[in-house]
Chains A and B, each alone.
Chain A
Amino acid sequence: MLKRALAIISLLIIGYWLAQGLAGVPFGQDKMLVGQYYLNHVREQTGAVNAVTAVVVNYRGFDTLGEVTVLFIASTGVGALLWRKKRERTAKTEGSVVLKTGAELLFPFIVLFGAYIFIHGHLTPGGGFPGGATIATAFLLLYMAFVGYEIPHRAFEKVEGVAGMGYVLVGLIGLAIGGYFLFDWIWLTWKWGAENIGRLFSAGFIPVIYTLIGIKVGTELSGIIDNMLKEEVGE
């Protein structure tokens, strides 16, 4: 009781303190300094219509590379923490017929929709991370509906690594052509798709990188699901 009261009082104090800090920020006024630059120059500098993906992939590509690394470390960490010699799925109840049929029917459509999200990252909201998460959802659905289902491990882990390497490789090609890492060579040097802004084949290397990230995130999250659903079995 005393503990809870103390916690509530200290939280109230912290909340009041944060609110005092936010009271100095004028809402609804135009305070954009860098943001205005992004909005004014995003079309001719990156070719993307979606300013968010242009910032995430082009202007601040290092952050995205870091995020991809964080996900990779998370996946590897889960794998290392749960590592045993012999592990299998020990789920007991099979899903009902309705669930199994539904999962089977819906699986290709969910994967298709995930691919749509990450391919159209420069045109519509979304990008590699939501698209990859959607694809992982499709695999989660299969795991939930079928007792014996497992992802094809060898293919998945290789694809994951190749996609991550592809991202770094695209950045290194930019380093060779333009002089700095993650330089958008397809757009700034080749001017590929320059008269095509707002359509699918535009925006330099944003679709390429988002396809790689989408594949990587999808396989990675599926791998985490797989690791967490398995249990150790005795000989």
Chain B
Amino acid sequence: MNALTALGEALVLIGTFFYFLSALGLIRMPDVYNRMQTSTKSATLGSLGVIVGVGIWALGEDFGSVAWLTKTIVIAVFLLLTNPISAHALIRAAYRSGIPLWEGSVMDKYREHIEAKAKGEEGETPKEGGGE
């Protein structure tokens, strides 16, 4: 076992640990938004660790070649780019379809923003605003 193998094994171990934390967060957290927060972040990090770790691990073995590392890095970059976008779209769709926040949360700036925007649009149309 050389240094590259050991480094790859360590990365895969770290990655699986973060996978475990992500699954734990799904059970532990109180509402959709908190669950998404824990699961997407740690699952992205965990996948990066596992994927790049496998590439480095293969470099240290007899059968490994640089092709492994190249492929894994391409996959890792693709995951790194796409995972946050999908999490963003999911969260936004959840908020738009009216899923409530956890009762312990104290602030909802986005709702205030939407309401302010709606009010501003009402003020702009003169007939509706001035008639009452």
Other-chain contact of B88, A99, A105, A106, A109 (Cβ < 8 Å): A99
B81 touches A102 (CB 8 A): yes
Give the residue name and chain of the A residue nearest to B89 (CB). Answer: A99
Whether a CB of chain A sits under 8 angstroms from the CB of B63 is no
Q: For chain A, what secondary structure do more than half of its interface residues adopt (helix, strand, loop), or is it mixed?
A: helix
Q: How many residues of A contact B (CB 8 A)?
A: 9
Contact size class for B?
under 10
Q: How far is it, in angstroms, between the C-alpha of A102 and the C-alpha of B88 when the chains are bound? A: 11
A102 touches B78 (CB 8 A): no
Whether a CB of chain A sits under 8 angstroms from the CB of B66 is no
Whether a CB of chain B sits under 8 angstroms from the CB of A96 is yes
- For the complex formed, measure the closest distance between the CB of B78 and the CB atoms of chain A, giving whole angstroms: 7
Q: Known interface pairs A93-B96, A96-B92. Does A109 touch B85 (Cβ–Cβ under 8 Å)?
A: no
B85 touches A98 (CB 8 A): yes
- For the complex formed, measure the closest distance between the CB of B18 and the CB atoms of chain A, giving whole angstroms: 23
Give the residue name and chain of the A residue nearest to B85 (CB). Answer: A102
- For the complex formed, measure the closest distance between the CB of B94 and the CB atoms of chain A, giving whole angstroms: 13
Q: How far is it, in angstroms, between the C-alpha of A93 and the C-alpha of B88 when the chains are bound? A: 15
A106 touches B81 (CB 8 A): yes
Complex interface: chain B residues within 8 A of A109 (CB): 78
A100-154 at interface with B (beta carbon < 8 Å): 102, 105-106, 109
Give the residue name and chain of the B residue nearest to A109 (CB). Answer: B78
Q: Which residues of A contact B (CB under 8 A)?
A: 93, 95-96, 98-99, 102, 105-106, 109
